[in-house]
């Protein structure tokens, strides 16, 4: 059902080549120095990766969610943290493409597609993570502007003057129907940032609080009508969950490949490690689980492309399974190295650290189970 055609293979190989040449050689250094390689990220724009599934009339690549899954898995073989950020950027661009007016699409999308500006997604707050509908950031209408006050937490890529922010804020009553979406440009007065968070992984991209203090945003920067912000946020997350699942698969595949290469060279008790049947069985399980997760992810991507009624449930299933599987495979790959796997030199411990957060973001895997179960019992 999911055999890759020539176009799929070409797209995947293009992303694999970029990961091999531009990401993998520097990933450990970026992680160690907590360096955000903006210039390298921008090099993906000429390849069409600034707007993978954006319509072509504004310069987008017009590809499918299935194509995107191939791309993000391939990029993550070089660095999961960078692949994940490019995914977030694409999710923000898609929201504008899907819900924006013609004027908004023409104004905001070209600099995002060229990656002149990088986009961050601002939903989570200090007191509103899994319960996103409880967010408190307030947008008050004052004439031809909204005035934003509040704080967003754990915002990937935040802090650059040239950044761009897709912000969910409360413009009405409590609950999901009181939320609207705003496009906030870097450099807007009243837009401020917290310190770069110290994290377990994802050190190659910054994570900051985004703070709004009487931040004035023009009414024409509201995305869609008032009150549909929660709908926009949830629509974006279906695809975002596929992307982060794909990033988990790419990182785990890289860890498995590293472990297999190491086991062909390392000897113990007079034999190469890959000659021990017990370790061969572990490798077989790892490869099988990755392939099963990949198949489910592709199934969900195809459902989202087809706008199937069960797409949201399948995306939740794929995100839960792919991120759990990816982390488990990477952890077992580290074990194959023994003590050397715990050292930074081999790059496996970085992958384990990077993949751990995938089980939390884009909706925790507990929330994924809740989404799946609600669809099953008809709620």
Question: How far is it, in rounded angstroms, from Cα 330 to Cα 257?
Answer: 10
Q: For residue 125, what are the β-bridge partners?
A: 128
Rg of the chain (C-alpha set): 21
Q: Which of 63, 49, 52 is nearest to 19 (CA)?
A: 49
Sign of CA pseudo-dihedral 249, 251, 257, 262: negative
From the centroid of its chain, how far is CA 374?
24
116, 289, 362, 375: the active-site residue: 362
Helix (H), strand (E), coil (C) string for 93-127? HHHHHHHCCHHHHHHHHHHHHCCCCCEEEECCECC
Tokens, residue 158: 């935040």
Cβ–Cβ < 8 Å for 157, 120: yes
Cβ–Cβ < 8 Å for 297, 308: no
Question: How far is it, in rounded angstroms, from Cα 266 to Cα 177?
Answer: 59
Interacting residues of 289 by C-beta distance below 8 A, sequence separation 6+: 325, 328, 329
Tokens, residue 168: 């969910």
Cβ–Cβ < 8 Å for 107, 98: no
- Residue 206, phi then psi, degrees to nearest 5: -75, 150
Question: How far is it, in rounded angstroms, from Cα 228 to Cα 218?
Answer: 18
What is the DSSP code (8-state) at residue 222? E
Cβ–Cβ < 8 Å for 254, 320: no
Cβ–Cβ < 8 Å for 56, 78: no
CB atoms within 10 A of CB 82: 27
Q: Is 213 in the active site? A: no
Q: For residue 108, what are the β-bridge partners?
A: none
Tokens, residue 270: 């007079």
Q: What 3-state DSSP class applies to 89?
A: helix
Active site residues: 362
């Amino acid at each position: 059902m999911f055999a890759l055609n020539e176009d799929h293979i070409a797209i995947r190989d293009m992303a694999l080549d970029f990961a091999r040449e531009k990401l993998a050689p520097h990933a450990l250094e970026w992680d160690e120095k907590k360096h955000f390689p903006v210039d390298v990220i921008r090099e993906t724009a000429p390849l069409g990766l600034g707007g993978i599934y954006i319509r072509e009339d504004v310069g987008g690549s017009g590809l499918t969610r299935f194509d995107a899954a191939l791309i993000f898995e391939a990029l993550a073989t070089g660095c999961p943290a960078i692949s994940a950020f490019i995914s977030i950027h694409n999710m923000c661009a898609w929201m504008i493409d899907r819900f924006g007016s013609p004027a908004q699409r023409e104004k905001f999308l070209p600099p995002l597609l060229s990656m002149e500006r990088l986009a961050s997604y601002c939903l989570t707050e200090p007191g509103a993570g899994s319960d996103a509908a409880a967010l408190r950031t307030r947008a008050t209408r004052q004439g031809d502007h909204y005035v934003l006050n509040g704080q967003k937490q754990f915002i990937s890529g935040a802090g650059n003057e040239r950044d761009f922010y897709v912000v969910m804020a409360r413009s009405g009553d409590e609950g999901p129907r009181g939320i609207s979406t705003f496009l906030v440009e870097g450099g807007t007065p009243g837009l401020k940032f917290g310190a770069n968070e110290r994290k377990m992984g994802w050190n190659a991209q910054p994570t900051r609080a985004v703070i709004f203090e009487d931040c004035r945003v023009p009414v024409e920067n509201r995305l869609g009508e008032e009150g549909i912000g929660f709908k926009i946020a949830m629509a974006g997350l279906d695809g975002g969950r596929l992307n982060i699942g794909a990033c988990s698969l790419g990182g785990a595949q890289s860890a498995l490949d590293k472990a297999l290469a190491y086991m062909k060279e390392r000897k113990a008790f007079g034999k190469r490690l890959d000659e021990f049947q017990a370790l061969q069985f572990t490798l077989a399980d790892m490869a099988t689980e990755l392939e099963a997760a990949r198949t489910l992810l592709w199934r969900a991507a195809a459902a989202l492309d087809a706008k199937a009624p069960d797409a949201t449930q399948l995306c939740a299933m794929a995100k839960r399974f792919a991120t759990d599987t990816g982390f488990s495979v990477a952890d077992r790959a580290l074990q194959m190295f023994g003590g050397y796997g715990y050292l930074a030199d081999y790059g496996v411990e970085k992958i384990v650290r990077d993949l751990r957060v995938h089980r939390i973001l884009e909706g925790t895997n507990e929330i994924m189970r809740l989404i799946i179960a609600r669809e099953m019992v008809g709620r």
